A and B are shown apart, each in its own frame.
Chain A
């Protein structure tokens, strides 16, 4: 594209400067399933749901929690930093601790701690997946910010994320792919391919571990994809930070305002996607969010949203579960199957909800 036509686009708001956002349609048609789902447990900063033989693991800031089948909580361990990612396989639990790298509890590599160098390189672990009992795949969201700085990373328009292969025996780190705009989830497929979400580019990529070839498998998503969890039908549960917002897309193209907002406005009050809304009167409000007759319309635009999408083995969306603008089960960035049920951790709503019977394959 020539510089002239780019200037023209910029002036008229076309091409790269268009601020259109795909609608939630087809398999992503909104419903209130997440909002109406039964509460499983109440948990502040609920995140990182992982199933183990002994029960459900979840993180709550710097605490690792375990839940029994009835949702009764038990603190497994407290860490010096926030637990940013969790994976479990063969009796081994891998945890990413903010600032401390990847540690292992239980199983073959019990007690493993990361070296200082590794902790420095993996400073923003957003997702972990076991490739085999000696190898972990690590998604590092950003080279410059910690995992909690995801909003800043988005609003800074960074693309410094990377995916690594970590050999637990030798501690060797191998770079698989860098230059990613916040990789936030990894899933294995049974072959050499892995799926990686690239949140700020609203897409899911397939990366070949051997050739390192990358191909998008799901693009133009109306939301920022987060983690991927395996589903009963050899498919996946795709979770999301929030839906895209036309005003945010616009601000991402308005350099002066964007930079001044990052510098002058406290992060909680940014006009940016978030995991929850209406926590403080200084949070920005948008036109359709104005309450009429004391009702916030579910179809209003929103900064925070709850969305979990069920995809098939090729990452094609099949169905979805929502908590809309008027709801609170927002910031659902982690989901995990247990039996026929799906548990979803809502960080914004500080709780874990149970979607009963959705993982039985008997629906529809």
Chain B
């Protein structure tokens, strides 16, 4: 191996590019930009504003955070539901007016004051919610109008009571404790705010109401079709928002104790900046409490610091406006391009040098021939997605279909078929256990069992999560082929944990060890990963020795043996290396050897590209999927090999007219049945000189009455 090649090999071994894509699929990735912005902002102002980290500054900040934060949380709820509330500033002013009048002038108790204030919030929110939610008015215009109405109401009432408010004071220790008290040195209002924020976080992320809110904001029509009461959900969002705003006004009144005539003006700008900057999408359906908090802190730190630096108020607002503009731009670009970035980054090919292919020259056991050119046919034009085939003790033939059915064909001609069971996912590898239950790997769904009566049962869809996984890999993406050990445990392959079944070619392009072999014990119900980092593990077959399983790794073109018992327990041995094609299912043959399907053949142009991960990565990004270099799956082949990995014979359909792709084959009573998941038929080839009574379940479990 050359120096350059070793460098490339080590670069791809040491720097796992695929992790970048996996991190990008994480939900918290949305918050990275606002978080970074917040850290940078604190770093900048922390160094230039005097006393930035002083206790008094922080106490002051936390008090303000409680008030602004509540409004931002309210706005978050409305924005998540897909709306906007511009009237928060006026509602805030009205709430302050009611609270101050009641507490100062009316000498109300804490409870009465709070109830009156929140009641005002409910009324204001209900007006907004009714207009937007039930009358279907545009949120932007409606709340703009209510902004003016609420503000006018305030302006009309305030001059009449302002003197009275200033000349009297509240008489409620609880009220004062809320305004000036501390709990372990932390302002009371902030503690209350934290509690409320946690509750809202739990509701939004864990509770039914929160999920409905996200559903309505994300896709209103779908939410409606799913049976969600869209109108009420919208209505409630506005009510909640205004109640939170009113509570914020209550906090403010308790802390300041008086009001100016311009109170709450411009609040909507601050709040919108905070929400959008935090990453709560204007389009609805995206947002969280953590994001709202980050945005709030950002806005407060920015405006307080500017105040401390004696920047005039209008300039302060100007800067806030510019920040809002920038965050709206970022929000739009991010939401629009996020999946594009993810798509171009997710596929990350790795270095894979293919061994020299076994010769297919004339005379060799792998010599190209046309023995599959004239074979019998089952289900022509009817089968669609028959990946594997198996027979029961009554000679009935079972195979899968793309529609998620298990089809059963009746002997002897196999022309009549019925739907034996419906599972829903694409059925792949199949095996019969000792009790004649059919065990099936279903793509995207896991391992299933169908009883002889046709009852479908999920065996397992989860295994243990691997320690180093970024994305949770415990659920199964592509269970591929299974077989049953003599003790009844089911061993099966999961081809890849990174892609869905229809993206199989992306995994081929990566050629990384993304797959694993899993064992499920039906007795205890436990599922455990046996081997991981396998290159598209596909076919799997319990060997005749009763101690090992043979498994194929498709993109690595090799067959290996795993010992589950005996002196070599736990070891993996290579059986065949350098196959000229991509191995798929392995099944037992009648004479103690094994049948192996090659789903497609290697091509030198693709083999070369496997040594050049950068080339493949650029190809994945620049070239349309239609034109990607792929394994040649238009020429399939079946071969037979013995226990030592010697290839004995091969059967080809060179032109790929009848069986372009062969994913599985099974010998049954002297006939070899051939399957291909993309083929429109199943082939039958009478075998010469084989046991005409050999049947695979007998070979596994012995003859039954």
**A residues with CB within 8 A of B:** 13, 19, 245-247, 250, 254, 256-257, 260-261, 264-266, 269-271, 278, 281-296, 300-301
Of chain A, the residue at the smallest CB distance from B661 is A291
Interface of B is mostly: loop
Is the CB–CB distance between B608 and A260 below 8 Å? yes
Choice from A281, A295, A296 contacting B632 with Cβ under 8 Å: A281
Is the CB–CB distance between A265 and B605 below 8 Å? yes
Is the CB–CB distance between B626 and A283 below 8 Å? no
Cα of A289 to Cα of B661 in the assembled complex, Å: 12
Within 8 Å CB of A294, what residues of B? 657-658, 660, 679-681
Is the CB–CB distance between A265 and B604 below 8 Å? yes
Is the CB–CB distance between B608 and A257 below 8 Å? yes
What is the distance, in angstroms, from B611's C-beta to the closest C-beta of chain A?
Answer: 8
Report which residue of A247, A250, A266, A294 has the largest number of chain B beta carbons within 10 angstroms of its beta carbon. Answer: A294
Within 8 Å CB of A246, what residues of B? 623-624, 626-627
Is the CB–CB distance between B623 and A285 below 8 Å? no
Within 8 Å CB of B105, what residues of A? none
What is the distance, in angstroms, from A220's C-beta to the closest C-beta of chain B?
Answer: 19
Interface band, chain B: 35 or more
What is the distance, in angstroms, from A295's C-beta to the closest C-beta of chain B?
Answer: 8
Contact sample, A vs B, 9 pairs, CB 8 Å cutoff: A19-B622, A247-B623, A254-B618, A256-B615, A260-B608, A266-B604, A278-B634, A290-B661, A291-B678
Q: Which of B605-652 contact A (CB under 8 A)?
A: 605-606, 608-609, 612, 615, 618-619, 621-635
Within 8 Å CB of B632, what residues of A? 281-285
Of chain B, the residue at the smallest CB distance from A300 is B626
Choice from B600, B601, B630 contacting A287 with Cβ under 8 Å: B630
Within 8 Å CB of A283, what residues of B? 603, 632
Of chain B, the residue at the smallest CB distance from A282 is B603
Is the CB–CB distance between B629 and A284 below 8 Å? yes
CB of B655 closer than 8 Å to a CB of A: yes
Within 8 Å CB of B654, what residues of A? 281
**B residues with CB within 8 A of A:** 368, 384, 505, 600-606, 608-609, 612, 615, 618-619, 621-635, 654-658, 660-661, 678-681
Of chain B, the residue at the smallest CB distance from A260 is B608
Is the CB–CB distance between A287 and B608 below 8 Å? no
- Knowing A19-B623, A261-B608, the reply to whether A290 touches B628 (Cβ < 8 A) is no
Choice from B368, B623, B681 contacting A281 with Cβ under 8 Å: B368
Cα of A250 to Cα of B658 in the assembled complex, Å: 33
Is the CB–CB distance between A301 and B678 below 8 Å? no
- Knowing A246-B627, A247-B627, the reply to whether A271 touches B658 (Cβ < 8 A) is no
What is the distance, in angstroms, from B410's C-beta to the closest C-beta of chain A?
Answer: 24
Is the CB–CB distance between B615 and A286 below 8 Å? no
What is the distance, in angstroms, from A279's C-beta to the closest C-beta of chain B?
Answer: 10
What is the distance, in angstroms, from A267's C-beta to the closest C-beta of chain B?
Answer: 10
Is the CB–CB distance between B605 and A269 below 8 Å? yes
Is the CB–CB distance between A290 and B634 below 8 Å? yes
The 5 closest A-B pairs by CB, nearest first: A288-B626, A281-B635, A284-B605, A285-B632, A293-B680
- Knowing A250-B619, A254-B615, A293-B679, the reply to whether A286 touches B608 (Cβ < 8 A) is no
Cα of A288 to Cα of B634 in the assembled complex, Å: 11
What is the distance, in angstroms, from A76's C-beta to the closest C-beta of chain B?
Answer: 34
Within 8 Å CB of B623, what residues of A? 19, 246-247, 250
Cα of A237 to Cα of B579 in the assembled complex, Å: 47
Cα of A301 to Cα of B630 in the assembled complex, Å: 12
Is the CB–CB distance between B629 and A271 below 8 Å? yes
Cα of A291 to Cα of B636 in the assembled complex, Å: 12
Cα of A251 to Cα of B604 in the assembled complex, Å: 15
Cα of A19 to Cα of B627 in the assembled complex, Å: 11
What is the distance, in angstroms, from B553's C-beta to the closest C-beta of chain A?
Answer: 20
Cα of A293 to Cα of B383 in the assembled complex, Å: 9
Is the CB–CB distance between A13 and B634 below 8 Å? no
What is the distance, in angstroms, from A189's C-beta to the closest C-beta of chain B?
Answer: 37
Within 8 Å CB of B605, what residues of A? 261, 265, 269-271, 284
- Knowing A250-B622, A261-B605, A291-B678, the reply to whether A286 touches B660 (Cβ < 8 A) is no
Within 8 Å CB of B660, what residues of A? 291, 294
What is the distance, in angstroms, from B623's C-beta to the closest C-beta of chain A?
Answer: 5
Of chain A, the residue at the smallest CB distance from B659 is A294
Choice from B384, B612, B627, B657 contacting A286 with Cβ under 8 Å: B627
What is the distance, in angstroms, from B370's C-beta to the closest C-beta of chain A?
Answer: 12
What is the distance, in angstroms, from A172's C-beta to the closest C-beta of chain B?
Answer: 45
What is the distance, in angstroms, from A268's C-beta to the closest C-beta of chain B?
Answer: 9
- Knowing A247-B628, A290-B633, the reply to whether A282 touches B680 (Cβ < 8 A) is no
Q: What 12 additional pairs, Cβ within 8 angstroms, besides A281-B601, A284-B632, A290-B678?
A: A250-B627, A264-B608, A265-B608, A281-B603, A282-B632, A285-B630, A286-B627, A286-B630, A292-B678, A293-B384, A293-B679, A294-B681
Is the CB–CB distance between A257 and B603 below 8 Å? no
Cα of A66 to Cα of B399 in the assembled complex, Å: 56
